[in-house]
A and B are shown apart, each in its own frame.
Chain A
Amino acid sequence: MKTIILRTASDYLLPLLLLFSIFILLRGHYLPGGGFVGGLIASIAFVLHAFANGLENTKNLLRLHPGYLMPLGLLVATLAGLSPIFVENLPFMTGIWFQEPLPVIGMIGSALFFDIGVYLVVIGVSLTIIFTITESA
């Protein structure tokens, strides 16, 4: 699988795909997309990189084991869910927003952060599964 074409391509594809995945994540509230799909696309980007350059290189690139993304994502999602309790004394998981919309992304609110949590967990889960299986295959 380690052809020079794929390797060269993957060097450019990885940042592009990651950028695309973030784009998909951020626009999810308005157009097709969201945390699940975004996370899956990001994982595919890494898996592609691992196929082309070998798992070790991808892991070096990541520095951190992808498994750490799972608790991180859960933490982000939990905080997003808890934020209405602290900020406006509303029940758990009530949506709250900043007053002014941002360009491209639109309204920023707790739902967006929740989706970012989902995104992180999905990346963590799929990469952990695939990396673990690759290593012990």
Chain B
Amino acid sequence: MLLTLYKLMLIAILTGFLFSIFLVFAGKYLKGRLAILSALVPLGLFVYFLNFSKRIANGEVISQTFEWVPSLGVNLGFTLDGVSLIFALMITGIGFLVFAYTAAYLKGHEFLDRFYGYLGIFMAAMLGVVLSDNIISLFVFWELTSISSFFLIGFNNKEEASRKSAILALAITGTGGLLLLAGVLILGNVAGTYSIAEMLSSKEVIADSAHYILIVLLIFGAAFTKSAQFPFHFWLPGAMKAPTPVSTYLHSATMVKAGVYLLMRFTPVLGSTELWNSTLIIVGATTMVYAAIHTIFRTDLKGILAYSTISALGVLVFLIGLGTQDALLAACVFILVHALYKATLFLVTGIIDHETGTRDITKLAGLRKVLLPVAIAGILAAISNAGIPPSFGFLGKDLIYEATLHFGNSAVLLTILAIVTNILLLYAGFLAGIKPFTGKLPTTFEKVHLPSFLMWLPPLILATLGILIGLFPSIIQGSLIQPAVTALGESGSEIQLKLWHGFNLILALSATTIGVGALLYFIMKPSQKLENGIAKLEFIAPQTLVEKFGFGFGKFSRFTTGLIQNGYLRYYVSVIILFLVILTGYTLIQNTKYVFDYDSFSVLTVYEVLTVLVMIVGILFTVFTKSRLAAVAAMGVVGLAISLIFVYYSAPDLAMTQFSIDTLTVILFVLVLYKLPKYLNFSDYKVRIKDGVLSLVFGALITVLALEVLSEPQGSQLTDYYAENAYVLAKGKNVVNVILVDFRGIDTFMEIAVLTIAAIGVFSLLKLRLTSKNRR
């Protein structure tokens, strides 16, 4: 039993959620020295997924399906193939290191348990995204990553900047989530299934569908917002307000790649069209160059890394857009390369920040003397980032050039773009990985000491992996990369990853990149001046535009709300009645016959005419009297006259009830009246005339309506049924009473319950002695 449970991926995903729930209760024990134990959760999952690698390498695809909402076709279907495995291993592997790192980084933090809780939810949700086969459940997990990211960015919730960034990130990724939902619903409808695996067979149906463009654009919207593509990239630098482990884990290694994952996942389903490829190439290329240029103007280490991450994401989108086997291979490799070196650099930055208290690149230097293992990790990562042999990065860069060079007509342009990006990325990597450790150590940093091994070991492990894989690419070639490329729909030739291809054009390009990049690093120094320079252009930055739009929209909403919800009851009433009169009146004028069958009307008697006259006088008196008491008395007379009408027209029950209620209401009014405000006229003559006209028109409308209805033939099966069965079924002869207590007894029951509630309301309003003072 346990063994079968172990095999279920659902359990693996749920582990993270269960861990978070567990923390709610046991969090306080896990804050101190035991914090490191949390790292066992991702480690266990990492080993679990590693177990599958052999089966995946053999070309297997593991699928498991559970019914969730079968009536809507929503199942929890999970698929583990090459792409999923790469992501799952990244999520759990880097997760493990980040969990361990956090134990030292946030040691003794008041809300450490909360932090682990959010991380746990995020990890589980992220696993859900990459393992889901059903696109609805994929969407649910996708949203969960956005939400947990919101909490993690805003973790330092006492700082306004943190909260603002968290909301901005949620707004952007949340919008993307909505687009994704719309996209998958349409896609599911067109394909007739919500399973990605089943969609593969209906690729043509989807591509020929009229909604194809819409689907692709919606999916793009989701992927671009999540993966910070231009012009939605600006939330990512803001997200750097989060503690460094979060930046490492969510905003460079995993979550931001969810968009890339989505594009990869849908490549076999939606890809290979002009729309798909061109859009991705253009957006990806724009992003990678734009963000890479931005790195020059930053002095904050995390800012530099954020923009280089955006740039790297751009590269990935660009590669998926190229869509050739070379390009997809390059994308798969580059995801790993980037995750390894960028996570290292972030963790290194975190240590520098933690120990020196600054991330300003212009101030940092010579730290190798005090933080040697960290320096090694940083430099190794910078090497991999730069693509200097024999690192894994060199391999990745080779593959990128290989992909661009073999892309038909635009090969030259695309290659140049790739080279420019890589040069700038190299520069950024050197700044983050080498600059802080070289040169002369400033005296202010002499007392800096090496932190716990929990902090420096994780980056060192990652950096070393980056070199090791470069030396022995066969580690991942068969087990990860080949199945991943197969999963992307390229089942062609076998893949060979190797460091040395001999002297060729690509090697020359690589060498150029490294040479120019290194030159740039030595010539150009980051400075405050440059950062100030770009700040001047901020007024046209997408972020400013979005914020301005949000601000303007809020202002517009306030304006319209003020206009419509002005808080004056009589305006609401007037508007509603006015529209009622206009719309109903129009219909009446169009369709009325104005034929009354006077013969069917009952004959008038003197008593009736008198009663009606009394009522009319009573109503007019109620409306126009200046005294409250007189108005109440006149209203009582109106009520009594109504009960007389009930007597004339065969409704004894109604007459009795109306009479009693009228008595009680008048008593009630008299009781309260002296405590009530004086009967004042607030409005002027003009307003009263206007209201009077509206009221009279409304009254006339009701009169005409009533007469219209009277001229229609009447027929009620309901009445006949009640009349026939009142005695036969309910043994009663007063049909009104039988309806009340028997046929419609439950209605009456509800009514007395409502009456009780009204009485309790009156009682509590008057008996609860709450004044505005002691309420505060």
Contact = CB atoms under 8 A, between A and B. Distances in A.
Interface of A: 24, 28-37, 40-41, 43-44, 47, 67, 70-71, 73-74, 77-78, 81, 92-93, 95, 97, 106-107, 109, 111, 114-115, 117-118, 121-122, 124-126, 128-130, 132-137
Given A34-B741, A81-B749, 16 more contacts: A29-B738, A32-B652, A33-B656, A33-B737, A34-B740, A44-B660, A47-B667, A70-B760, A74-B753, A97-B731, A111-B732, A125-B756, A125-B758, A126-B664, A129-B763, A130-B667
Contacts of A126: 664
B355 interface: no
Nearest to A29: B732
Residue from B652, B730, B749, B763 whose CB has the most chain A CB atoms within 10 Å? B749
Interface stretch (B196-204, B442-450, B669-677): B669-677
B82 to A, nearest CB: 61
A64 to B, nearest CB: 15
- Interface size classification for chain B: 35 or more
B762 interface: yes
Contacts of A124: 756, 759
Given A77-B752, A111-B745, A122-B755, A30 B732 contact: yes
Interface of B: 652-653, 656-657, 660-661, 663-664, 667-668, 671-672, 674-675, 729-734, 736-738, 740-742, 745-746, 748-749, 752-753, 755-756, 758-760, 762-763, 766-767
Contacts of A137: 671-672, 674-675
A114 B741 contact: yes
A132 B762 contact: yes
Contacts of B758: 125, 129
Given A118-B748, A137-B675, A34 B763 contact: no
6 contacts: A36-B657, A37-B657, A40-B657, A74-B753, A111-B731, A132-B762
A96 B429 CA distance: 88
A81 B766 CA distance: 33
B741 A35 contact: yes
Contact of A125 (B668, B732, B741, B755): B755
B664 to A, nearest CB: 6
Q: Return the 8 tightest CB-CB contacts between A and B, nearest first.
A: A40-B660, A32-B652, A29-B732, A121-B752, A125-B759, A34-B737, A128-B759, A37-B656
Nearest to B761: A129
A99 to B, nearest CB: 12
A95 B663 CA distance: 33
Residue from A32, A77, A97, A117 whose CB has the most chain B CB atoms within 10 Å? A32
A67 B763 contact: yes
Contacts of A32: 652-653, 656, 734
Nearest to A39: B660
Nearest to A137: B671
Contacts of B767: 132, 136
Nearest to A117: B752
Contacts of A107: 731
B653 A93 contact: no
Contacts of A73: 752
A71 B740 CA distance: 20
Contact of B759 (A47, A111, A129): A129
Contacts of A111: 730-732, 738, 741-742, 745
A70 B742 contact: no
B643 to A, nearest CB: 12
Given A34-B741, A40-B657, A111-B742, A95 B752 contact: no
Contacts of B656: 24, 32-33, 37
A17 B294 CA distance: 92
A133 B766 CA distance: 7
A73 B749 CA distance: 10
Contacts of B748: 114, 118
Contacts of B736: 34
A28 B664 contact: no
Contacts of B745: 81, 93, 111, 114
A28 B657 contact: no
Contacts of B664: 40, 43-44, 47, 126, 130
A118 B653 contact: no
Given A95-B731, A133-B672, A74 B752 contact: yes
A28 B759 contact: no
Contacts of B741: 28-29, 34-35, 111, 114-115, 118
